[in-house]
Structure 1
């Protein structure tokens, strides 16, 4: 069998992995049932989050849990019919979010985030995608002094322990940054390090074009048909071009990874956090200068190419349940109060599903029980951020190189019974 490598999943993780493998001289076939970047990678806030060293934990305070239980918030929503099925994931997620465990997870997670900008810059330059990137951070805005002081204290801790850069904004400085934002905001927090992407889908497509310029192939196919090769070695998958075989396979299937890994005997307890977005035109001459989070309400406004993108928090539901964009409706009502949004620009709300592990860290590494199978999924809120870092790590592992980061913390081995 020729040394073809299959990469299943053409989101930002899969495309980045395919690039790094092709750079090493491998013959790579990238497979997805849809076009590249059309699933989870399509809809997000468009941030490369260098400041995001602490993954999003499950609330621990009883009062907060009670408030979430009323199911009327923007930042989180749940389907009551799905709760029993979600209990195993949510209970482990809650357990890992205990303060001491969460802090240990952040220390293990931080190296991935700390290298996110430099690894993206490598691919951005190679893919001639600089026109899609802004390098001026993002902003949180605060309605109360209590929230402001808590978040600024946390920012100072992250600056001290992880070297992130931030700037506190007074009420007056916030008004200067965003003259068209209305409301009685007491100030803001500007994260200086992150980069923003004006079209996440176009960035993925630029990376895909670069991959193809390296000789890589992209074909449509069904990852669930993956099976071992005819001789018991290697792998094969059905595509629109017929059966494609490879010596190695990388599973970068995001929230669909569990479907394929489960058929080979793996149990990752992978959960999903669904999210929604909608684009809006601004009214008149209104301009939104910054990627902006309304911190107390939990929604994001992002000045994208297509318009101002409004994104929601997390929806806990069955992955394939019909859309229920109630968070978007709640967020839109509040967002219109603080910024002059005009008409919706999308025919319907976009919905996607973030793949989440209970310990909040991705799965990156070799399958424990199958030769030539590799995993790259479970990046939760930071898929866009961590695509190139993950791709480089997987490629280095597959070629037997010393990895540029110690990858033990993200190994699939941590899920073994």
Structure 2
């Protein structure tokens, strides 16, 4: 068995630690913060069994024009944010071509297919069932044409991926979610989606399970990682720590570390944000509000409104326009109460241009492993890709996941 250090204590890193530990390896996790308190904390809390197809870049001229002119709340952009990421965005556009996109959807769907079962293993081990609801998720539409288009597509999704979903009329949506004060055009119920009332708390439970089984989580700056002889070493709050293998699971910070090791990773930094409403009535299940591009989720701390994507320049003051627009619009058909005082939470989704996570052995370093780039699905797919990475590290690679491996990702990794 091997000694392994994992750089990163989010959902992906902690899931990797649990998986490798369960196979008899000695595992240490290194992060500058507490487990689950960065990107893993701020998401909408969904384990998305329906998300077989990743988010492609719009290619329809009308959709692109709406984005450029700010007529949609799904995507916000700035000149600095676009120019600073132009090479990665151009690749993202090219990979979103229908022919390329359909091919990569096959690999993504293979991962999504087992996501709930892979989580369930650790939910049980960590005694975290009180954080999980299994009653699905709603997409709600105010625009009849958008609803009808989505409803027509359900048959294709079922035939190709086996995704269960039911189209609902507006009255049924209101009966399922009494918080609505007016009747929408319709909705779609995705019954296989699970939701979590405290995403950061779930990672904390997983981390506690890892510790109870003998694992170590140390404070330290992963950017100090370096190779010394046959070992990987990093400075931690307990001094110099070393291991035979190192796994990079730093999400949006992974390219920064890998640049120091001689790798260039093209990544689209999709910024996201949420705002809390601590006195809002509880929803029965999370809702995607298609009109305003936000997800509404009842958390332990109140109602969370999570917005779409912002392409902003690094270091820019977070733009809250998406959340503010959505808050004004949502009040037309439900009353969430007053927003919680204080700063809006902001994080970054580490999205690779080909829309697949990067999982596998580093091309130019022995015993260095990549495990990042999950985009919108790090919370969903952490345990699943951790299982596949552990297989690779144990010398057993499933042919269905070769598309994730660094050796096959030359267009985004050099």
What TM-score does the superposition give when structure 1 sets the normalisation length? 0.95
1:355–1:378 contact (8 Å) kept in structure 2: yes
Q: Within 5 A, what are the aligned runs for 1:224-263?
A: 224-229=223-228, 232-263=229-260
**Aligned counterpart, 1:158:** 157
Give the superposition deviation at 1:234: 1.6
- 1:370-398 Cα distance to aligned partner (Å, 9 max, x none): 10000000000000000100111111211
1:251–1:376 contact (8 Å) kept in structure 2: yes
Which of 406, 413, 417 is 2:400 aligned to? 406
**Aligned counterpart, 2:80:** 81
Q: Within 5 A, what are the aligned runs for 1:47-126?
A: 47-71=46-70, 73-126=72-125
Structure 2 gaps of 5+ residues are: none
Which of 271, 277, 283 is 1:274 aligned to? 271
2:388–2:397 contact (8 Å) kept in structure 1: no
2:282–2:303 contact (8 Å) kept in structure 1: no
Q: Within 5 A, what are the aligned runs for 1:12-23?
A: 12-23=11-22
**Aligned counterpart, 1:381:** 376
SS of match in other structure, 1:54: coil
Give the superposition deviation at 1:328: 1.4
1:274–1:319 contact (8 Å) kept in structure 2: no
1:282–1:340 contact (8 Å) kept in structure 2: no
Give the superposition deviation at 1:281: 3.1
**Aligned counterpart, 1:139:** 138
Question: Partners in 1 of 2:224 and 2:331 — Cα distance?
Answer: 46
SS of match in other structure, 2:53: coil
What TM-score does the superposition give when structure 2 sets the normalisation length? 0.96
1:17–1:388 contact (8 Å) kept in structure 2: yes
2:273–2:345 contact (8 Å) kept in structure 1: yes
Structure 1 gaps of 5+ residues are: none
**Aligned counterpart, 2:289:** 294
Question: Partners in 1 of 2:58 and 2:170 — Cα distance?
Answer: 29
**Aligned counterpart, 2:320:** 325
Which of 301, 304, 310 is 2:299 aligned to? 304
Give the superposition deviation at 1:401: 3.2
**Aligned counterpart, 2:127:** 128
Question: Partners in 2 of 1:276 and 1:72 — Cα distance?
Answer: 19
Give yes or no for the alignment of 1:353 onto 2:348: yes
Give the superposition deviation at 1:289: 1.6
Question: Partners in 2 of 1:351 and 1:299 — Cα distance?
Answer: 14
Give the superposition deviation at 1:325: 1.7
Task: Specify whether residues 319 and 36 from structure 1 end up closer, same or farther in structure 2 by C-alpha distance, changes over 3 A only.
Answer: farther
- 1:252-307 Cα distance to aligned partner (Å, 9 max, x none): 00000001111222222012100000110345xx4422200111321111111111
Question: Partners in 2 of 1:412 and 1:38 — Cα distance?
Answer: 28
RMSD: 1.5
1:4–1:246 contact (8 Å) kept in structure 2: yes
2:296–2:303 contact (8 Å) kept in structure 1: yes
Question: Partners in 2 of 1:55 and 1:150 — Cα distance?
Answer: 18
Give yes or no for the alignment of 1:9 onto 2:8: yes
Give yes or no for the alignment of 1:415 onto 2:402: no
2:81–2:314 contact (8 Å) kept in structure 1: no
Mean CA deviation greater in 330-339 or 236-245? 330-339
